[in-house]
Homo-oligomer: A and B are copies of this chain.
Amino acid sequence: MGGDLGPEEVVAGARLAASELGVEVVLVGDPERIGDAGGLAVIAASEVIEMHDDPAAAVRTKRDSSLVRTAEAVRDGRAGAMVSAGNTGATMVSALLRMGRIKGVSRPAIATPIPVPGSTPTVVLDAGANAECSPAWLVQFAQMGAAFSRQRFGIPEPRVGLLSIGEEPSKGTPLVKEAHCLLAGGAAGPEVHFVGNVEGRDVMSDAVDVVVTDGFTGNVVLKTIEGSMRFAMRAVLAALDTDEATKAAGDVLLPALLPLAAELDPDTYGGAMLLGVEGVCVISHGSSSSRAIVNAIRVARDAIDADLVGRLAASTGAAAGS
């Protein structure tokens, strides 16, 4: 029922995914608003958590909402993964409360891939699940982020960095300094290749594969990148539109610029992943097109096939026992 473009776009994406990927897609929501499901199964849900609803309150009171019912379908084994373009906070809370946490995980985190054309994306986590974090949680984010980067992007030994305001371990907040100390001391276990502190300018570079931070800073970073990329694109388009000569030049350049725009388009990446819950949960951005939904479903399918949840459990459990 979610997504800024309405259920039609999400349903269109689900139908495309079923035919293109050959996966079984179950739609959850109000059958009337879903309309023609194109033969896909439908789990009826009478309520909708709106984009502006308070996540925790809405999940508590709207028990027959599409988000809550979707998380229950995963919990009950009627679905292998949940994909949502709706209220991010409510998606997270539904998944957390209905699926539960992976044993040993203190807090789930949102992992968001940031495109780095010419290289594999950089995974930033936590991208907004926990505004406040403890150093031990950041250590778990490092473990989960490394396992995710390995599964999703096939990087054998992901380089994990801690977001700070300087390379030196002495830089940053007490949270960052303590997390640095733990990570540098090997608290994340042998599977995490910790490369030290990284800075904001390293996120969109190939200097690091996983960037660990608290959910407040991570969310600010994502939205700052989103804003500055949108700004840069507009500025370049405005320059192309200066006069007849630049318009003609723009036509020549378009084939070279389009692949770049596609690589930067969040639709390409299928959205973020909630790591640490007992099931696969993909959070597609609110303005997801049907193409973005297809990509999100592909990401969900790949996570199931590769047993991402089992890998996350192993990554966090192994170090807990060490």
Q: Roughly how many angstroms separate A176 CA and B202 CA in the complex, as a whole number?
A: 26
A229 at the interface (CB under 8 A from B): yes
With A165-B131, A224-B203, A227-B203 given, is the CB distance from A216 to B173 under 8 Å?
Answer: yes
Q: Roughly how many angstroms separate A269 CA and B312 CA in the complex, as a whole number?
A: 46
Q: Are A230 and B201 in contact (CB under 8 A)?
A: yes
A248 at the interface (CB under 8 A from B): yes
Closest chain B residue, CB of each to CB of A220: B200
Q: Roughly how many angstroms separate A200 CA and B230 CA in the complex, as a whole number?
A: 12
With A132-B173, A253-B240 given, is the CB distance from A201 to B224 under 8 Å?
Answer: yes
Closest chain B residue, CB of each to CB of A224: B200
Q: Roughly how many angstroms separate A63 CA and B239 CA in the complex, as a whole number?
A: 51
A174 at the interface (CB under 8 A from B): yes
Q: Are B221 and A200 in contact (CB under 8 A)?
A: yes
A226 at the interface (CB under 8 A from B): yes
Query: Chain B contacts of A239 at CB under 8 A?
Result: 253, 256-257, 260
Q: Are B199 and A223 in contact (CB under 8 A)?
A: yes
Which residues between 39 and 96 of chain A lie within 8 Å of chain B, taking CB atoms? Answer: 54
Q: Are B220 and A199 in contact (CB under 8 A)?
A: yes
A-B residue pairs in contact (CB < 8 Å), sample of 8: A200-B223, A201-B224, A221-B224, A228-B229, A236-B236, A249-B249, A249-B250, A253-B253
Q: Roughly how many angstroms separate A256 CA and B235 CA in the complex, as a whole number?
A: 10
Q: Are A232 and B230 in contact (CB under 8 A)?
A: no
Closest chain B residue, CB of each to CB of A165: B219
A242 at the interface (CB under 8 A from B): yes
With A165-B128, A235-B260 given, is the CB distance from A227 to B253 under 8 Å?
Answer: no
Which of these, B163, B205, B224, B256, contacts A225 with CB under 8 Å?
B224
Closest chain B residue, CB of each to CB of A202: B227
Q: Please, what's the 1-or-0 string for A194-231, where 1 marks a CB less than 8 Å from any CB in chain B?
A: 00000111111100000000011101111111111111
Q: Roughly how many angstroms separate A145 CA and B204 CA in the complex, as a whole number?
A: 29
Query: Chain B contacts of A224 at CB under 8 A?
Result: 200-201, 203-204, 221, 224-225, 228
Q: How far is the CB of A307 from chain B (nearest CB, A)?
A: 32
Q: How far is the CB of A54 from chain B (nearest CB, A)?
A: 8
Interface centre among A172, A199, A202, A249, by most chain B C-beta atoms within 10 angstroms, is: A249
Q: Are A227 and B200 in contact (CB under 8 A)?
A: yes
Query: Chain B contacts of A249 at CB under 8 A?
Result: 248-250, 252-253
